């Protein structure tokens, strides 16, 4: 389906059994659609985090089918520690997080992906769609950088190389 829609993949899928996919840019629900198609095309078993407000009947059944897990961002839930615990207790687990945290413009990224990767000692894989070229790019996996500021800068730089569905809503 991914290729039938005229899209192509740039980069190689990660070979690690555990990692955090960092999905950027995230400016539209179309990002999810094409990202999910890319994950399926690569036959990767990736769990995707989304705001828990989507988990209402009947959408919650679609979310479960698609491998989407709810995240409550309204209250502190020890989300990072919970995900780290899940990663520690299994030999294969992959999560996708969109650190922009919203489809609207934000000047910084949410740091959860970074703290999860550091605490669980798992690599980060930056990936995202380019709507102008109909490509989905996957960068080589890498361990978290020394600080969140450095890591965030690298993710933002990648984001700037992609053409978002709504470019004004992300880093340019």
Would you state the pLDDT for residue 137? 96
Give CA–CA dist 23/127, Å, rounded.
5
Would you state the pLDDT for residue 20? 93
Convert 57-85 to b/e letters by CB count within 10 Å (16 or more is b). eeeeeebeeebbbebeeeeeeeebeebbe
Would you state the pLDDT for residue 54? 66
Taking 70 as the threshold, does the pLDDT of residue 105 lie above it? yes
User: Helix 79-88 to helix 112-120 angle, to the nearest 10 degrees?
Assistant: 30
Over range 28-41, report the average pLDDT. 88
Would you state the pLDDT for residue 75? 66
> What are the E-state strand segments in 17-144?
18-23, 47-51, 68-71, 93-97, 124-130, 135-138
Q: What angle do CA 122, 75, 18 make, to 5 degrees?
A: 15
Confidence grade of residue 171 (pLDDT, cut at 50, 70, 90): confident
Taking 90 as the threshold, does the pLDDT of residue 65 lie above it? no
Taking 90 as the threshold, does the pLDDT of residue 160 lie above it? yes
């Amino acid at each position: 389906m991914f290729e039938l829609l005229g899209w192509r993949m740039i980069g190689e899928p990660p070979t690690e059994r555990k990692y955090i996919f960092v999905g950027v840019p995230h400016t539209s629900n179309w990002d999810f659609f094409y990202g999910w198609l890319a994950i399926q095309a690569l036959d990767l078993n990736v769990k995707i985090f989304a705001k828990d407000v989507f988990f209402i009947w009947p959408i919650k059944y679609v979310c479960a089918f698609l491998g989407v897990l709810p995240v409550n961002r309204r209250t502190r839930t020890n989300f990072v520690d919970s995900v780290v615990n899940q990663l520690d207790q299994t030999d294969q687990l992959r999560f996708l997080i969109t650190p922009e945290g919203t489809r609207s413009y934000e000047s910084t990224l949410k740091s959860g992906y970074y703290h999860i990767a550091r605490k669980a000692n798992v690599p980060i894989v930056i990936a995202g769609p380019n709507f102008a070229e109909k490509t989905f790019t996957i960068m080589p996996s890498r361990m978290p950088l020394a600080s969140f500021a450095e890591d965030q800068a690298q993710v933002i730089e990648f984001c700037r190389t992609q053409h978002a569905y709504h470019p004004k809503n992300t880093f340019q």
